[in-house]
Amino acid sequence: MIDPSFEILYEDNHCLAVVKPSGVVSAHFQGEEQTLDRAVKAYLKEKYRKPGNVFLGVVHRLDRPVSGVLLFARTSKAAARLSEQFRDGSIEKVYWAIVEGDVNRTAGTLEDWLRKDEKRGRVEVVEPGDRGARQALLHYHRRAAHGGLTWLEVRPQTGRTHQLRVQLAHHGHPIYGDAKYGAIHTFGRAIGLHARSLTFLHPIRNEPIALTAEVPRGWRGRFAYLLREGQP
């Protein structure tokens, strides 16, 4: 059996889900940089001894410094159906975020309007009526707080670029290690944001598939007390 350089959470003829390590790019556009989709294609090509190009549908992405569940499609039909689920918001996404500061409320909802600044490579919070503004909505609850940090479980209702990073920072709690949006602490190539779970309808069988990714090893050392305190 081939031992890929990434953990496989789910694999069948239609879908493949892996645990994305932080610091790795989800999918390539141009250039020769090794990306996760290229690694998955190489794994499929070798495992199934495919002679030509391997199809792999990129149906969503995680930012480079983010870890967690990443789903790919293995056929064009699956790619179209999964992409539609992401667009209409029917896929349930749960993130774990370690943020700076003490979040006082046990639970809440954040609604903002975001606009991507292509020149600066950043996303900013703007007024609802501004040109290019798109609504961003997320729900959170606090799992634990210690030493000026808070562990949040976050469920985004929309899927905007950098949404969780921008919204949490805008409301006074940047994600740990996310210097791009104002964090004080550093965390190597990672930030304290992990795509904990993903629940979707199988594109062919139409049955729910729930996938969960364990937190990276770096979390267990850096955030050991928080993780221990926040367990149910």
> Can you tell me the mean pLDDT for 142-170?
96
Q: Which of 37, 35, 41 is nearest to 53 (CA)?
A: 41
- In the structure, what pLDDT confidence band is assigned to residue 1 with cuts at 50, 70 and 90? very low
pTM of this prediction? Answer: 0.94
pLDDT of 223 higher than 80: yes
Q: In the chain, count of helices (H) and strands (E)?
A: 5, 11
Beta bridge partners of 212: 197
- In the structure, what pLDDT confidence band is assigned to residue 174 with cuts at 50, 70 and 90? very high
> Can you tell me the mean pLDDT for 17-28?
92
pLDDT of 30 higher than 90: no
pLDDT recorded at residue 31: 62
The superfamily CATH assigns to domain 7-229 is Pseudouridine synthase (3.30.2350.10)
Question: Domain boundaries in the chain?
Answer: 7-229
- In the structure, what pLDDT confidence band is assigned to residue 217 with cuts at 50, 70 and 90? very high
Q: Which of 37, 63, 112, 178 is catalytic?
A: 63
| Separation in Å, CA 11 to CA 14, 34, 185 | 8, 22, 37
pLDDT of 151 higher than 50: yes
Whole-number average pLDDT of the chain: 93
- Active site (annotated) includes residue 63: yes
Contacts of 207 (CB under 8 A, 6+ apart): 201
- In the structure, what pLDDT confidence band is assigned to residue 50 with cuts at 50, 70 and 90? confident
pLDDT recorded at residue 4: 64
Which DSSP string corresponds to 116-164? EETTTTEEEEE-TTSTT-EEEEEEEEEEEEETTEEEEEEEESS--TTHH
Q: Which of 169, 77, 90, 82 is nearest to 123 (CA)?
A: 169
